[in-house]
Amino acid sequence: MSSFVAPWLADSRRYLKSPRESAPRRPARFVAGGAVIASLLLFAGCREEADAPQEPVRPYFIQRVPWAETGVWLKADLHVHSKFSDGSHSITELAAAAVRNGCDVLAVTDHADHDRDGASAEYFAELDAARRRHPELILFAGLEWNVPPYGGDEHAAVIAPINPTERSLLSGFKARFDDYGRHEKTKDPELATAAIGWLHSQSRSGAGDLPVVIYHHPGRKRAHTMSLVDEMVKLREAGSVVVGFEGAPGHQRGPVNGAYDQRLKTIDRWDTSAANVGDAWDELTRRGHHVSGAIASSDFHNRENANVSDYLPGEFSETWLFAPARSSPGVLAALRAGTTFAAHGHVVRQVQLKVSAPGLPRPAIGGEILRIAAGTPLTIQVDLIVPDVDWQGATNTMDEVELILISSSSARPLRRARLSNRGASSCRHTLTSPDGAWSVRARGRRVVADGPDLLFYTNPVHVLSQSDSLSTSGRSAASLKSDDHE
């Protein structure tokens, strides 16, 4: 089995352990040949039926999102700070601002520094008060973790499920694993993986009640973002709680975009790991590690500050989740599955990247993995809604939509399409599937005359495309049966 395919199987296996949140089982029959494919399908929970007749290979889902046809859209800001670390606002004020700006979801991720009050009793008392005042808002407790062994230079969010264990989980994590102020003699290069392993061990009922970890502003203090690849792989191998990174960092209102004041700068407000075709996001995808880069946060600290001035939660940066339900478990399930897109400036709504194939019961969406025969004619489609006005009330446009193809050997732009209308739109591209494993992601652009442009990004759809001529253990193709897994 190729090194490119193997991580996909691991991701699929972890995903299949997630809780059953929606959608009934819909068994799908398919045929596959080849030891590689047979192993892959058995790994995904399939069984072989003896003496089945030979048929042409039909497309099927290796990894399926059960809510693909029934999900709900939720607007989120997953990275803000309150007065309990270095923010200027109370949690109640942040929640009120998020609601005013149309957020359904907010995560208050105060710094885990030992001299801050994130995850303290006072923090949770105010969080509970804000939940009572704004019951319409799904309000998560979280921490901004100082990732070992970097002291305070590299950060990641730890977002806890809303349940009775959130207090002990976050306070215990902070005490054990935060790296701020740690003396050089006590630094442990394996502390980060131990931390992820500890989080992964906290489940009481399966992956559905685990926290999620999102790497923050990955290029802010790096010499090059490709160094993120091995770090993300190592963390994800320690536990499936690591779901992605901020493709678009916060601090979008200040004089230095994203507060990227060192070697790397943002590109049209996005981290180079996402904006540069072939950079860290595509390299992770190319290696078969499915992580979300379609996350845009405010990183709100202060509204008015001489050095760093931020947009309020939901005011400018948006992460949109396509979730099984409007609930805490639904939000976390969407983050684990990668059913998100992210945008700046309120320029787009309900973006859905889809891949259709003859014989497939429905199109695949972002986060899903398809198995198809090489040479299958495919339609890649981006559905979206372009609002009449943007975040400032100005006339809105979406000038182009671009597809990016990632194969086992490279990443490249596949197609650009011009848009000229507002409202519901679709862009389509037909493609004959090549042999091998590949993925496609999308981005859209509203051109701003004096820059930077306003963009959206989707997460990829993944495809395993192989020849039908393989045999299974020297026999003809075997008929296999797969069930949906929630």
Between β-strands 340-344 and 317-323, what pairing exists: parallel, antiparallel or unpaired? antiparallel
Question: pLDDT at position 326, please?
Answer: 98
β-pair partners for 343: 318, 456
* Pick from 3-12, 130-139, 287-296, 473-482: least confident: 473-482
Question: pLDDT at position 467, please?
Answer: 72
Q: Residue 35 above 80 pLDDT?
A: no
The predicted model scores a pTM of: 0.86
List the strands of the sheet with 364-365, edge to edge.
Answer: 364-365, 349-356, 377-386, 423-432
Most confident of 1-10, 201-210, 466-475: 201-210
**Confidence class for position 146, pLDDT limits 50, 70, 90:** very high
For the domain made up of 72-348, give the CATH fold: TIM Barrel (3.20.20)
Rounded to whole angstroms, how far apart are CA atoms 277 and 457?
12
Q: Residue 480 above 80 pLDDT?
A: no
Token pair of 84 as six digits: 């309990």
Judged by DSSP in three states, 463 sits in: strand
Find out whether 444 and 398 touch, Cβ atoms under 8 Å: yes
Question: pLDDT at position 46, please?
Answer: 31
Measuring CA to CA, which residue among 56, 72, 71, 68 is closest to residue 369?
A: 68
Does residue 25 or residue 74 have the better pLDDT? Answer: 74
Question: pLDDT at position 229, please?
Answer: 96
Find out whether 318 and 344 touch, Cβ atoms under 8 Å: yes
Rounded to whole angstroms, how far apart are CA atoms 310 and 298?
7
Find out whether 66 and 22 touch, Cβ atoms under 8 Å: yes
**Confidence class for position 33, pLDDT limits 50, 70, 90:** very low
- Give the DSSP letter of residue 258: G
Rounded to whole angstroms, how far apart are CA atoms 375 and 361?
19
**CA angle at 50 for the pair 48 and 56, rounded to the nearest 5°:** 75
Q: What is the pLDDT of residues 86-98, one digit of tens each?
A: 999 999 999 999 9
Question: pLDDT at position 380, please?
Answer: 98
Find out whether 268 and 451 touch, Cβ atoms under 8 Å: yes
Q: Residue 307 above 90 pLDDT?
A: no
Does residue 134 or residue 24 have the better pLDDT? Answer: 134
Domain(s) labelled CATH 3.20.20.140 in the chain stretch across 72-348
Q: Residue 475 above 50 pLDDT?
A: no
Rounded to whole angstroms, how far apart are CA atoms 346 and 309?
19
Token pair of 71 as six digits: 């999900």
Token pair of 187 as six digits: 């630094």
Matching residue, tokens 């590299």? 154
Residue type, 229: V
Q: Which alpha helices (H) appear in 103-189, and where do they start and end? A: 121-133, 166-177
**Confidence class for position 469, pLDDT limits 50, 70, 90:** very low
Question: pLDDT at position 328, please?
Answer: 96
Does the CA dihedral 58-64-67-71 come out positive or negative?
negative
Question: pLDDT at position 485, please?
Answer: 29
Tell me what percent of the residues of the chain surpass a pLDDT of 90: 74
Residue type, 456: F
Question: pLDDT at position 259, please?
Answer: 92
Question: pLDDT at position 304, please?
Answer: 72
Find out whether 358 and 407 touch, Cβ atoms under 8 Å: no
Question: pLDDT at position 57, please?
Answer: 67
Tell me what percent of the residues of the chain surpass a pLDDT of 70: 82
Q: Residue 77 above 70 pLDDT?
A: yes
Token pair of 335 as six digits: 């983050």
Residues 430-458 have a mean pLDDT of 95
Q: What is the pLDDT of residues 317-375, one digit of tens each?
A: 999 999 999 999 999 999 999 999 999 999 999 999 999 999 999 999 999 999 999 99
Does the CA dihedral 101-131-252-241 come out positive or negative?
negative
**Confidence class for position 204, pLDDT limits 50, 70, 90:** confident
Crossing angle of the two packed helices 121-133 and 91-100, in degrees rounded to 10: 30
Rounded to whole angstroms, how far apart are CA atoms 75 and 69?
18
Matching residue, tokens 């230095």? 256
Q: What is the pLDDT of residues 243-301, one digit of tens each?
A: 999 999 999 998 899 999 999 999 999 999 999 999 999 999 999 999 999 999 999 99
Rounded to whole angstroms, how far apart are CA atoms 71 and 343?
19
Residues 206-211 have a mean pLDDT of 81
Measuring CA to CA, which residue among 403, 399, 323, 398 is closest to residue 355?
A: 403
Does residue 470 or residue 126 have the better pLDDT? Answer: 126
Q: Residue 474 above 80 pLDDT?
A: no
Residue 212 CA from chain centroid, whole number: 10
Rounded to whole angstroms, how far apart are CA atoms 273 and 284?
10
Question: pLDDT at position 478, please?
Answer: 23
Measuring CA to CA, which residue among 236, 275, 241, 269 is closest to residue 254?
A: 269
β-pair partners for 80: 108, 300
Rounded to whole angstroms, how far apart are CA atoms 71 and 341?
14
Question: pLDDT at position 136, please?
Answer: 97
**CA angle at 388 for the pair 383 and 391, rounded to the nearest 5°:** 100
Find out whether 21 and 486 touch, Cβ atoms under 8 Å: yes
Measuring CA to CA, which residue among 386, 385, 218, 236 is closest to residue 293?
A: 218
Domain(s) labelled CATH 2.60.40.10 in the chain stretch across 6-68+351-482
Question: pLDDT at position 208, please?
Answer: 75
Q: What is the dihedral of CA 12, 16, 17, 19, to 10 degrees?
A: 140
Does residue 271 or residue 6 have the better pLDDT? Answer: 271
* Residue 185, burial from CB neighbour count under 10 angstroms (0-12, 13-18, 19+): exposed
For the domain made up of 6-68+351-482, give the CATH fold: Immunoglobulin-like (2.60.40)
List the strands of the sheet with 28-32, edge to edge.
Answer: 28-32, 478-482, 47-49
* Pick from 99-108, 115-124, 206-215: least confident: 206-215
User: Average pLDDT, whole number, for the chain?
Assistant: 85
Token pair of 404 as six digits: 């990016």
